[in-house]
Amino acid sequence: MSETIFIEGGRVIDPANGVDGVRTVVLRDGVVAEVGERVERPGDARVFDARGKWVTPGFIDLHCHLREPGQEYKETVATGARAAAAGGFTSVVAMPNTKPVNDNTSVTELMLARAAAAGAARVYPAGCISKGQNGEELAEFGELKTAGCVALTDDGKPVMSAALMRRALEYARAFKLPLAVHEEDLALVGKGVMHEGLTSTRLGLKGIPGAAEDVMVLRDLALAELTGGRLHIQHVSTRGAVRAIRDARKRGLQVTAEVTPHHLALVDEDVAGAGYDTDFKMNPPLRSADDVKACREGLADGTLDAVATDHAPHSAVEKDLEFDVAANGIIGLETAFAVCLGVARTGAFTENRLIEALTIGPARAFGLPGGTLAKGAPADVAVLDPALEWSYDPAAGFSKSRNSPWKSKRLVGRCTHAFVGAKLVHGEK
């Protein structure tokens, strides 16, 4: 007999089932057994007191970099999956730009074996669109899917050939896999290192225009229309991209999209405020206040389906450099909830909508299990303290890396417990 877990007294927010109120959540045999207002508790049940807390489906991150194989000094599947659990994420999709890249089943299988051994968040590998992420020849989508890949992406790089992108959309359709795309026109990006605008001019840094993203999003929406393929736009950061995706959805295209916590919370001027701190350097870059407003509106109205972290660990070797040459990317699994909650509390979107974008939104976008507390769903649950004030110290976190713009910042809201398959993977027993 497996243990029965009662999570009692918390505000259960389960947007997939229209639930928002105080309920008891019962987990048994790896699945959600019941969610109810009054549930009789057997004497041998293990009880978690969630009074004053939120109880939600475990978060699902469609976009993180776990760095294994090849760059284990930055992160491993085990440390990344553990950091995820600490942030309330019970499932994460691991990007394929490892070393070697995940364009073949041996890399996929290694990631899955490491994840199973780690016993933290579930890890779903994404495979490459093109062999070697070279943008020339398609990877073997069928083999990658059979090995366990849930999506295809060349993340880190755009697919610059429109012809290859067209074939990828057609080919992926046969396997019902979403194509997740990192949208930037490299010719427009040039040597840019931050958003092109008044701030880049003032700082003397080369700029990346928002149009570098817009033109690629518009191109791929046209190709999705041509092929009937399933497109997922990664880390949307511009007003133009949000508008184009909104229009495409109205026309019935199969397009979904994600936005990161940092593109909802920070603006290009923060690079100046932080004094060229390279933990404010990422790709896409922090955009203008108007772009941030558009991303918030896009999340609020459902144009953007999911909040995804783009958790991108780097060591001091890659980051402790001049802004021009430092690596792109920041870690985000352990701060995503607090950062987004802070934005929600400005009135940008509701708390309920935020939880939706962290749970059922991403689950539906990639067709993943979870994201719901429906009876029989995987017993993946996050318990969150929405009032907990804490100071974020990356060195005390679970990620191996420390590259976060929120280091030493006061945050409000934190995951206290996470369950995966009814097993406690984060928090005090």
CB of 184 to Zn ion, least distance (A): 8
CB of 93 to Zn ion, least distance (A): 12
Are the CB atoms for 183 and 210 separated by under 8 Å?
no
Any idea what DSSP says for residue 348?
Answer: S
Contact characters 395-424, Zn ion, x per CB under 5 A: ------------------------------
Q: Which of 9/190 has CB closer to Zn ion?
A: 190
CB of 108 to Zn ion, least distance (A): 19
Q: Which of 152/341 has CB closer to Zn ion?
A: 152
Single out the residue of 68, 155, 279, 291 in contact with Zn ion (rule: CB under 5 A).
155
Considering only 46-54, 153-161, 210-218, 319-327, which stretch makes contact with Zn ion by CB under 5 A?
Answer: 153-161
Are the CB atoms for 164 and 138 separated by under 8 Å?
yes
Rg, Å, the chain Cα set: 20
Considering only 11-19, 69-77, 180-188, 207-215, which stretch makes contact with Zn ion by CB under 5 A?
Answer: 180-188
Residue 258 touches Zn ion, criterion: CB under 5 A = no
CB of 99 to Zn ion, least distance (A): 16
Q: Which of 103/155 has CB closer to Zn ion?
A: 155
Sign of CA dihedral 169, 172, 176, 177: negative
Q: Which of 258/268 has CB closer to Zn ion?
A: 258
Sign of CA dihedral 165, 168, 173, 178: negative
Q: Map residue 225 onto helix, strand or coil.
A: helix
Considering only 74-82, 100-108, 167-175, 181-189, which stretch makes contact with Zn ion by CB under 5 A?
Answer: 181-189
Question: What's the angle, vertex CA 98, arms to CA 93 and CA 101, rounded to 5?
Answer: 100
Residue 182 touches Zn ion, criterion: CB under 5 A = yes
Q: Which of 33/95 has CB closer to Zn ion?
A: 95
Considering only 18-26, 27-35, 178-186, 242-250, which stretch makes contact with Zn ion by CB under 5 A?
Answer: 178-186
CB of 153 to Zn ion, least distance (A): 8
Q: How far apart are CA 414 and CA 416, in angstroms?
A: 6
Considering only 152-160, 220-228, 358-366, 377-385, which stretch makes contact with Zn ion by CB under 5 A?
Answer: 152-160
Are the CB atoms for 278 and 326 separated by under 8 Å?
yes
Residue listed under structure tokens 């609020």: 300
The backbone region for 119, taken as left when phi is positive above 0, alpha when psi lies in -120 to 50, beta otherwise, is left
Q: Which of 56/133 has CB closer to Zn ion?
A: 133
Active site residue: 310, 320, 385, 393, which one?
Answer: 310
CB of 157 to Zn ion, least distance (A): 8
Alpha carbon 91 to its chain's center: 10
H or E element at residue 352: helix 351-358
49 is catalytic: no
H or E element at residue 188: helix 186-189
CB of 135 to Zn ion, least distance (A): 14
Q: Which of 27/312 has CB closer to Zn ion?
A: 312
What is the per-residue DSSP string for 60-87? EEEEE---TTT-TTT--HHHHHHHHHHT
Q: Map residue 167 onto helix, strand or coil.
A: helix
H or E element at residue 116: helix 105-118
Q: Which two tokens stand for residue 267?
A: 């603006």
Q: Which two tokens stand for residue 393?
A: 């110290």
Parallel, antiparallel or unpaired: strands 194-195 and 423-426 = unpaired
Which residue spans within 244-368 are E strands per DSSP? Answer: 255-259, 306-307
Query: Count residues contacting Zn ion (CB under 5 A)?
Result: 2
CB of 234 to Zn ion, least distance (A): 5
Considering only 52-60, 175-183, 191-199, 237-245, which stretch makes contact with Zn ion by CB under 5 A?
Answer: 175-183
Residue number closest to Zn ion, CB atom: 182
Q: Interface with Zn ion by CB under 5 A: which residues? A: 155, 182
Which residues are catalytically annotated? Answer: 310
